[in-house]
Structures are given as C-alpha cells and as structure tokens.
Structure 1
C-alpha cells in the first residue's frame, strides 16, 4: 500500500504584509477615484480647496474600509475617524505641497503629469499612514489579538500558559 501524499504546506504571509496588501487595494481604489474627482473639479474651485474636500470625503470612506477590510478591527465610531483624520492632515499637506511645487515648475502641466505627481505623493503618504493606522489607530487593545479572519480571541491566562509549557 502506498501512503497518500501529504498535503503541501501552505504558505501564509506575515499578518502585517497581508494587512498592507488589503490597505493598498482599499486605499488605492479610493485614491484613484479621488484623483479623478480632482480632475473634474479642476478650474471650478481652487486646487487647495478641491484637495481638502476630496481628502475629507475619501478619508471617511477609506477609514471605514480600513477598519473593516484592511485591519479587520472591531473599532468603529467618530473617534477612529478623528484619529485617522489626523494622519490625513500630513497627507493633505504632502499632496498639496507636491502639486504646488509642480505648478511652480510647470504652470500648465498635462493631466497625466498632474495625476502622476498626485498619485506618487499619495502613495508615499499612504505608506506613512499605514504605519500610523496599524500601530496607533487600529492596534490591538487590551491584549486582545486579531487573527487574519478578524475574529478576536482572549489572551492566554497564566494557567493556560503554564499548561502549554
């Protein structure tokens, strides 16, 4: 008799890498939509005002997506939105600064160049936001760990640790 072949070990990604992939997909989707809205608003209102409006609306949407999908956190509410919004203040300054520098160098850039600068600045700011959101806003609270499915489990007590040893 031949033994059935053993199943191949499955590779699992580090939880931070998995969360980052989800973060990029959710945030990237919102970011691409935001850049399109900026193009639509171009010439109708000042750039800084348009970027501020787009930033506020996209932050609310992205925070909900990140809470539920990227970090699979149970944290909800306006407190989370406020904390996330603070991370966006730096992103707003960074993306607006990048666009203002572009306009200083090229007073009438093409839409492609404008979008390239905006999306590049947004991507760099996004990496910083991911770190802050993961470490500060959606970090595990009170020793409760989040697994990759988003379910929460209680920490092991001393007796359980002693039994496992």
Structure 2
C-alpha cells in the first residue's frame, strides 16, 4: 500500500468527520449485518461474523482514509493494522451481545437478532470513531510547527575585525558554540 505523504487534505472537523463516519462506516456496517445473517444460515454465526468483519474492516478503513478523515489517499499498512485492532474489539462486542441474546431468548427471530447486532455495532462504532480519529488517522503535527527545532541554526558570520578584537570567550559566544 502506498503512503499518503504530501497528499493529505485538510482534516474535517469532528462533526463533519463523524457524519462521514456514520455514512461510510454505517453503510458498510448495515451491509455487513445482512451478509452475516445470510452467511450464518450455512456456517456458524461467529465464523460468519469473523469473515464479514475482516472484509468490511478492509473496505471501511479505505473509505475512512479517503473520505472520512481526509487522509487524501489509500490507507497505509499501519492504518490498516491499527484499524484491525479496533475492529477486533468491535467483533468481540458484537459476539458478546449475540451470545447474551441467545442466553436470554431461546429462539430469537431474525429481526431481534438484527436489532441486537446493529445496536452492538453502533456502540462499538462510536468507540471505533474515537480510536480512528485520535489514533489511526490523527494528524501528526510537524516538529517545526510544534515549536521543536528540527535543524541546528546557521552559524553566525563574524567579521574578521570583530573576531580579532573580541576575547576568545566573546568569539565563542558570537559563533553560537556556547
């Protein structure tokens, strides 16, 4: 995957980023919920959820890099890896929610399963937004902009007449070596 150095767009504000996150991530999440339900009819639910989570995380990370957080290009390997960590946590939340549902209701209907799954996904999604915004797609301030010098200052030019007349201590101070 390529890096996005030099192609970063201006970062959207928190509200705009959250709105984009809901549209991109919510659209992928809603589609994923139907995919999980369809796949769960022929494979165990946890396996279906795992497979859909992997595919949807890759897709959503790309969408978030390009549109949600204004990175301006494809997601980097680092961003995919960090996003996968937050997706793993979201996967656990949805699995726990579904396990609790099946403990409480012997034979839940498809609508109730979707409501529980989407509710757990929404809760995990809000936490994921915070992680993605503050960690994964956080803007790194350039060191110079943060007030930290990145290079040594240029040496002072001392005219010959001044350097001969100055004491050795004064010359050292004028040349910036003190």
What TM-score do you get using the length of structure 1 for normalisation? Answer: 0.76
Matching residue of 1:83: 82
- How far apart are residue 108 of structure 1 and its match? 1.5
Matching residue of 1:20: 18
Query: What are the residue-to-residue correspondences of 1:14-93 with 2, within 5 Å?
Result: 15-74=13-72, 76-93=75-92
- How far apart are residue 131 of structure 1 and its match? 0.4
Call closer, same or farther: CA 1:100–1:156 in 2, change over 3 Å. closer
Query: What are the residue-to-residue correspondences of 1:145-164 with 2, within 5 Å?
Result: 155=145
Matching residue of 1:104: 103
- How far apart are residue 79 of structure 1 and its match? 1.6
Distance in 1 between residues matched to 2:75 and 2:62, nearest whole Å: 8
CA contact (8 A) 2:32 2:52 kept: yes
Matching residue of 2:132: 133
Distance in 2 between residues matched to 1:19 and 1:109, nearest whole Å: 35
SS of residue matched to 1:82: helix
Matching residue of 1:123: 122
| Structure with greater Cα Rg | 2
CA contact (8 A) 2:86 2:131 kept: yes
Distance in 2 between residues matched to 1:39 and 1:119, nearest whole Å: 12
Please, which runs of 5 or more residues in structure 2 have no aligned partner?
Answer: 1-11, 148-178
Distance in 1 between residues matched to 2:146 and 2:107, nearest whole Å: 61
CA contact (8 A) 2:46 2:95 kept: yes
Equivalenced residue count is 136
Please, which runs of 5 or more residues in structure 1 have no aligned partner?
Answer: 1-13, 145-153, 158-165
- How far apart are residue 126 of structure 1 and its match? 0.4
